[in-house]
Structure 1
């Protein structure tokens, strides 16, 4: 498994405070997505991991949509920090 060195680190005391916040949830989903993506580069036929990745991507997408409706400034800041593309709008 390849470790990603470009993932921002949240201090331990800050983790304890806001584990339920949208930002923290998106952060943890992003870490899982990056880990699964590197796993799937090695194991292309691991279909259960592909399914899990799609589920996590959907959860993160819904959380980001919620945050973008509620507070656009926090949304833009979070996307900038985690280096996530903005979803395409229809």
Structure 2
């Protein structure tokens, strides 16, 4: 699948965006292991992770089979199930 992702010319697809964001996350993680007090990079990493989470959430809702394939190919953790905001009676 990674070869399919890298050969794809549609850089606007959700899969390509998640692939590029994952590469940026990996690079920033390596940087932060060396420079642990670089708070600007930590903030940037959190913003990238949030954007990737939103894209994965969209993909999970619209195309669950593509989501499963992408998560397994990139080796990232799947999303946690959404919590219900309604209160349950005890």
What root-mean-square deviation, in Å, do the aligned CA atoms of Structure 1 and Structure 2 show?
A: 1.3
Superposition deviation, residue 80 in structure 1: 0.5
For residue 56 of structure 1, the aligned residue among 26, 48, 52 is 48
Q: 1:1-80 counterparts in 2 under 5 A?
A: 8=2, 10-11=5-6, 14-15=7-8, 17-80=9-72
Q: Moved runs in structure 1, 4+ residues, more than 2 A?
A: 8-11
Residue 39 of structure 1 and its aligned partner are, at CA, apart by 0.3
Unaligned 5+ segments in structure 1 are 1-7
Return the index of the structure with the highest Cα Rg: 2
CA distance in 1, matches of 2:30, 2:60: 28
Q: 2:37 aligns to what SS in structure 1?
A: coil
TM-score by length of 2: 0.83
Gaps of 5+ in 2: 84-90
Aligned residues: 80
Distance 1:72 1:28 in 2: 20
